[in-house]
Structure 1
Amino acid sequence: MNTEDIYQLFIQHPVISTDTRKIVPGSLFFALKGDKFDANTFAEQAIEQGAAYAIIDNPAYQLNKKYILVDDGLTALQDLARYHRKQLIIPVVGLTGTNGKTTTKELINAVLSQKFNTLATQGNLNNHIGVPLTILSINSTHEMAVIEMGANHQKEIELLCSISQPTHGLITNIGKAHLEGFGGVEGIKKGKGELYDFLSREDGSLEQGIAFVNGDDKVLMEMQQARDLKKVVMYGTNNRDNTIVGKLTENSPLLSLQWTNNSSGESHAIKTQLTGAYNLDNILAAICIGTYFELDADAINKGVEGYQPQNNRSQIKQTATNTLICDYYNANPSSMFVAIENIGKLTADRKVLILGDMFELGDESAAEHEAIIRKALATEVDERIFIGKDFLAQKWKFKGDKLKNATFHATVENAITALKFHPVKNSTVLIKGSRGMALERLVELF
């Protein structure tokens, strides 16, 4: 069955299911393959649980007319989303970048939803499956969409743009993450720059899109200039060409800031529920996009001030004796560096760093873990705790007094044991590491 025919079924059954544990009665079940499973084997179960049709790519499981055979289940899902997107006449803001994607997406959504019925990527559904599912969840009531796009190799953003077809776009930054898959920083620039490539297209069917660019970021400015983007709106902290300019007024640990609309000359003050000076750029991006879509300042401020971070991204947790900065959803050298830098600037009686290994760094892993240790040792904090085999493997490079107030543990379990014997109290504590380290296991100790 072709995409147009499947779309007619989708119109009648506009809910997509890919997991038999979460089947919605009357939905379309797409049987996707994974490294360790073949959902074709669950197609019959999906129908029994109420799915209207099952889209499968193995004829052995086609039991009757409720089983729709396609060449490839994932491609069929992506093609369906691409077809659905073409039926929608709404602005779609697409964003990618090394760090801050999800926080920025949530901030943009918090601002735009003050005026529009907005749909945004749920959680971290930002890959080759999540983006199509998000696009297919847009319905006739939505006036705007905010689509987060993640990638760990080149051509992935190109694919996601072909599906989501953003009319507006934002790259948060270019940093060191997924170095193994991208093949180094230049590979990251090329891969993330595929969003600018899409926005610069003007082929008759697509008008050139609008890019929101951090005017202070030399890398992003060079990237957008190289593509001759003609529709650029800028934000930042000091560039006079920025439409929106802002500066922090407080970081203790929650952020307050002042921002100015250079077009009107009006300035405004905001108190946020975010921590981390590195989030200033993310906040200004959301303000810039809100201003572009003609929200008034009060609505923009309400959106930013009302946003409360979750999912352990720059999230503050108060315990009986400590203030925790929970930032262990993920980590890479760039995000680790700015997080360490931020805690060094905080005003606190006692400060502790707890850092877990960073993953997917390939041949650069040893050098990047060593660099983070050096940054941590050079930062004014009272205690440093490194967790994981990659950090431990670099310990021998640091001798004597350089390791003062620094301990290394091969595993989280070892760190838990040590913290039980030597508990941390009356401190501001940064906990940061890659998702696979599962550093949330430490929180109950504080």
Structure 2
Amino acid sequence: MATFHVSEIATITGGTIINGNKDRTIHKISTNSKEGDMDTLFVPIVGERVDAHDFISDAYQQGIRVTLTSKDAIAEGTEDMVYIRVNHTVDALQRLGEYHRDHSKIPIIGITGSVGKTTTKEMIAAALSTRCNVLKTIGNMNSQVGLPQMMLMLEDSHEVGIIEMGMSEFGEMERIAKVAKPNMAVVTNIGVSHIGQLKTQENIRKEKLNMVNYFTEDSILLLNGDDPLLLELYDEYSKTNSTVKEKTQSIANVSLSEMTRISLNRASIYTFGTNPNCTIYADNIKTDGESTTFTFHYKEGSKEELVDNITLSVLGKHNILNALAALFFAIQLGVDPMDAKEGLREYKPIAMRGEIEKVNGFTVIDDTYNASPDSMKGAIHVIMDIPKEHKKFIVFADILELGEHSRKCHYEVGEYLAKQCQLAKASGKESALIDEVLTIGEEAKYILDGVCDNGEGIITKSFMDRDEVFQYLKSHFVKGDAILLKGSRGMKLDLIVKRLKDELMYMGKDEIR
């Protein structure tokens, strides 16, 4: 963790010490008044509902003796606390993170995309950790407040940082890119997450590509070659000649900020996917219902350099793509692909992100951390890949933050599910078929419209609350069944997962008690 003198913090943040002993030193940063001690800097965040300046006294009682503040008042009883007055506490935190990042020579891999950032981060870390000391994003610390704290955790002992970079509004990616300054980056996809705020997928692409704005001549960008909007960007770049002028004129067909265009002209750009034209691609994909195997091919220019077989202990095409990104960066950083392969073989999904658990003869797929239309489509393939012992259920809840696009996006999830079942049936893969789709919420019921309009034989039921769904499952779920649960975090499907597992654990007959 970075170490700063109080006077140094004031200089870096453009702040002023308005109270307390300027000779103090801090070794930790906290935005939580209940976490820290005398060596901690408290950063009170002003949110939509809560102003953490109101908790400076609580931070003092916790033992914290240094705080940032955007106000002039000294809280009663904290007269010996150091107050550093800044214009904006989040901006000050970002300046500290940027300062520490600028003084580190450690390579940073930035990860963004509409879905899959966390899983991609975890897979890259799994591949690289076999030979490197890795710093990776903790929890959801990928935003305006969390990312600078991750940068402040960089230490000389680290050999690479793997950092998620999230955004939901215009301008956010540019600000955190200035803090993280990744040397390498990957864009997993351009979907419709946050389209309610950003209005179009083209706007989402433009905003996410701001992550490269601080690239240098030796920087590397990896794009999902299976994603049409990212392939469009790659094609614009790859068809140009070598001069900056010509590149800038050509790439102007894709809407990007001027800084992004300049950075793309500096960078080397590669692709990953299932298309043989990608720099690194997968084919010969197989699953046995518990693991996935595929062959990866890595090319330098038109020459194939590496070909090898990979086994993953997870299901779904999206995880194959994540593994390809991990292998790509392992190769760039000189990690032996054999070591990277072993790390990927050992990878397991983290809690609530596609976690598959066998419970007393039932299969529960907990993918309840969050949801978007694209991630729901990916999750459909996971449950379809599982062997069918009896029936397969899906519980989908509302996808939030889709704005005026909500009805269409939900409908397309159901349409996609129905068509995938049609394809499976036509191919004789009866074990892949979904038997029942249950939804929770006003918006998710449009998923059922998509199912009913495009398929047949799938039972569909709409519910308005979690308890109704649970009671339905109690009377219809039997041993050998599999269930996938997925929805936006605010829908709290994890509460159903917990109740379901508790019931299944102590079940003594074929039905849930």
TM-score, reference length from structure 1:
0.90
Alignment match of 2:438 (pick from 385, 389, 403): 385
Structure 2 distance, partners of 1:170, 1:67, is 39
Amino acid at match of 2:12: T
Amino acid at match of 1:315: E
For 1:169-222, what per-residue CA distance to the aligned partner results, in whole angstroms no more than 9, with x for missing partners?
A: 1101111211101112122111112124443xxxxxx44521122334342132
Alignment match of 2:151 (pick from 105, 127, 135): 135
Amino acid at match of 1:361: L
Corresponding position of 2:393 = 352
For 1:385-433, what per-residue CA distance to the aligned partner results, in whole angstroms no more than 9, with x for missing partners?
A: 1121212367678589958511111111211122223234312222111
Alignment match of 1:172 (pick from 188, 194, 211): 188
Structure 2 distance, partners of 1:314, 1:184, is 28
Alignment match of 2:57 (pick from 17, 40, 44): 44
Structure 1 distance, partners of 2:23, 2:404, is 45
Corresponding position of 2:466 = 412
Q: Does 1:27 align with 2:64?
A: no
Q: Where in structure 2 are there 5+ consecutive unaligned residues?
A: 1-9, 238-250, 252-260, 422-432, 505-513
Amino acid at match of 2:219: G
Alignment match of 1:219 (pick from 211, 218, 229): 229
Corresponding position of 1:268 = 308
Q: Per the alignment, in what secondary structure is the counterpart of residue 390 of structure 1?
A: coil
Q: Does 1:281 align with 2:321?
A: yes
Alignment match of 1:67 (pick from 71, 83, 101): 83
Q: Does 1:312 align with 2:352?
A: yes
Q: Using the aligned pairs only, state the percent identity.
A: 29
Amino acid at match of 2:404: D
Q: Quick check: 2:190–2:227 contact (8 Å CA) kept in 1?
A: no
Q: Per the alignment, in what secondary structure is the counterpart of residue 158 of structure 1?
A: helix
Q: Per the alignment, in what secondary structure is the counterpart of residue 443 of structure 2?
A: helix
For 1:9-31, what per-residue CA distance to the aligned partner results, in whole angstroms no more than 9, with x for missing partners?
A: 89942210111222244111112
Q: Per the alignment, in what secondary structure is the counterpart of residue 193 of structure 1?
A: helix
For 1:229-254, what per-residue CA distance to the aligned partner results, in whole angstroms no more than 9, with x for missing partners?
A: 44123333232451454542325143
Distance 1:239-1:217 versus aligned 2 partners, 3 A rule:
farther
Q: How many residues get paired?
A: 440
Amino acid at match of 2:269: V
Tell me the C-alpha RMSD between the 2 structures.
2.7
Distance 1:414-1:243 versus aligned 2 partners, 3 A rule:
closer
For 1:30-66, what per-residue CA distance to the aligned partner results, in whole angstroms no more than 9, with x for missing partners?
A: 1211222222222233233222411111111263461
Distance 1:322-1:70 versus aligned 2 partners, 3 A rule:
same
Structure 1 distance, partners of 2:341, 2:334, is 13
Q: What pairs up with 1:24-173 in 2 under 5 angstroms? A: 24-61=37-74, 63-64=79-80, 66-173=82-189
Deviation at 1:336, TM superposition (A): 1.2
Deviation at 1:372, TM superposition (A): 2.2
Q: Quick check: 1:276–1:314 contact (8 Å CA) kept in 2?
A: no
Structure 1 distance, partners of 2:131, 2:16, is 30
Larger-gyration structure (1/2): 2
Q: What pairs up with 1:327-406 in 2 under 5 angstroms? A: 327-349=367-389, 350-378=391-419, 379=421, 380-392=433-445, 404-406=458-460
TM-score, reference length from structure 2:
0.79
For 1:274-308, what per-residue CA distance to the aligned partner results, in whole angstroms no more than 9, with x for missing partners?
A: 22222111110001100111111221012211221
Corresponding position of 2:11 = 2
Q: Does 1:256 align with 2:293?
A: yes
Q: Where in structure 1 are there 5+ consecutive unaligned residues?
A: 200-205
Structure 2 distance, partners of 1:400, 1:279, is 27
Distance 1:49-1:315 versus aligned 2 partners, 3 A rule:
same
